Amino acid sequence: MIRARLATTKRLVAKVGSALVTNGGAGIDRTAITRWASDVAALRASGVQVIFVSSGAVAEGMARLGWSERPKAMSELQAAAAVGQMGLVNVYEQAFAAHGLHTAQVLLTHEDLADRKRYLNARSTLLALLKHNVIPIINENDTVTTDEIRFGDNDTLGALVANLVDAQTLVLLTDQRGLYTSDPRRDASAQFISEGRADDPKYEAMAGGVGTGISRGGMLTKILAARRAANTGIHTVIASGHEPNVLQRVLGGESLGTLLYAPEASLGKRKSWLADHLQLRGKVTLDVGATKALLHGGRSLLPIGVIAVAGEFERGEVIGCVDEAGRELARGLTNYSSSEALRIMRKPSSEIESVLGYADEDELIHRDNLVVTG
């Protein structure tokens, strides 16, 4: 029944990993990309808009440079990405041009989506490309990214992009059939999972570690990406990229891969943007009363409920709210900087002006700018 709903998809984000794109690191797999382009072209002809999130730049760069192992130094990774992007984009362009479709390369970093203005600009650009029947080919901007701003894997990037453009379905293509109860390459008794709720915690426990030496991802990153996408009601399918016409078949309701469906309730766009932050500027620790107020009362966070402040942040930046055990409860836009928060914590709102000499807001984080994550 849930799979049948996929047929109503009007906007799809599909992600392919490095192992698929580069045939296990041997170099760009033109045959595979040609097959996916044909699949996407058929969907476009039926009225479905498609965004492609593609790994492979670093792996292609490694192949071109003759490197057998993924480098660890950031500058070497950036160099490989710069070299690899040239070949990767060229192959996609040729594959889609054969179907009369234009492509556009879009490179993103976390800062592009963490900054509200740049987030909205990226959204407008992608929607404009779709309006003009262009297929965006998105990748993390590995040529400039650093450890502080990198997404870490393109599964996460796929989920963030799906949330960004209001997609209905996210398809994560991999070299496996889908999700199993354990790694089928090591456990012959592993059971295939056809579908389940994306927010079910048991799937995270089942997922293995990182993927191949070429890929940075793995089944765990796909589970977490599906959970992230589910925040805004997006269903995720994890399926084999080796399957012919895989995207058409998934949207056709075929029982292909693992469907991790979103619960009925979902976050609004602004709160989804808050939840999607991968790095936070700082955090505040809450007492028991404030914890209950946030989790069960739908209340704003007042300074009096804060017992500790960590990190350096300014007014308007996204910070985390944790309990005394360090577990994240929520995150939101702070009305005060870290230095101000240190001075007003444990104080009633009525004393903010006397402590700081001014009072911008009664709340440290207003409930309209706060999303519960715990």
Q: Give me the chain's average pLDDT, please.
A: 88
Judged against a pLDDT cut of 60, whether residue 209 lies above it is answered with: no
Q: What is the pLDDT of residue 205?
A: 75
Averaged pLDDT, 146-165: 77
Q: What is the DSSP string of 214-250?
A: S-S--HHHHHHHHHHHHTTT-EEEEEETTSTTHHHHH
Of 71, 105, 74, 110, the residue nearest 88 (C-alpha): 105
Tracing tokens 């390459």 back to the chain, one arrives at: 185
Averaged pLDDT, 184-213: 77
Averaged pLDDT, 227-231: 90
Residues 6+ apart with CB under 8 A from 25: 18, 19, 59, 62, 63, 212, 213, 214
Tracing tokens 């409930």 back to the chain, one arrives at: 367
Of 321, 320, 317, the residue nearest 305 (C-alpha): 321
- Range picked from 143-157, 160-174, 212-226 for highest mean pLDDT: 160-174
Domains plus CATH for the chain? 2-272 (3.40.1160.10), 280-372 (2.30.130.10)
State the pLDDT confidence band at 282, using cuts at 50, 70 and 90: very high
Of 196, 108, 205, 193, the residue nearest 157 (C-alpha): 108
Instruction: Give percent above pLDDT 70 in the chain.
Output: 93
Q: pTM above 0.85?
A: no
Query: By the 8 A CB rule, do 46 and 249 touch?
Result: no
Q: What is the pLDDT of residue 102?
A: 97
Query: By the 8 A CB rule, do 303 and 271 touch?
Result: no
Q: What is the pLDDT of residue 146?
A: 57
Judged against a pLDDT cut of 60, whether residue 225 lies above it is answered with: yes
Tens of pLDDT, residues 64-96: 898 888 888 888 888 888 898 888 999 999 999
Averaged pLDDT, 264-279: 75
| Range from 14-18, 110-114, 156-160, 231-235 carrying the lowest mean pLDDT | 110-114
Residues 6+ apart with CB under 8 A from 40: 14, 50, 52, 96, 101, 135, 247
Strands, E assignment, 161-234 = 169-174, 179-180, 192-193, 195-197
Of 262, 300, 264, 245, the residue nearest 169 (C-alpha): 262
Q: What is the pLDDT of residue 28?
A: 87
Q: What is the pLDDT of residue 24?
A: 75
Of 338, 340, 302, 290, the residue nearest 318 (C-alpha): 338
Please give the DSSP secondary-structure letter assigned to residue 207. -
State the pLDDT confidence band at 353, using cuts at 50, 70 and 90: very high
Q: What is the pLDDT of residue 276?
A: 80
Q: What is the pLDDT of residue 210?
A: 43
Averaged pLDDT, 132-141: 92
| Range from 33-37, 120-124, 261-265 carrying the lowest mean pLDDT | 261-265
Averaged pLDDT, 299-317: 94
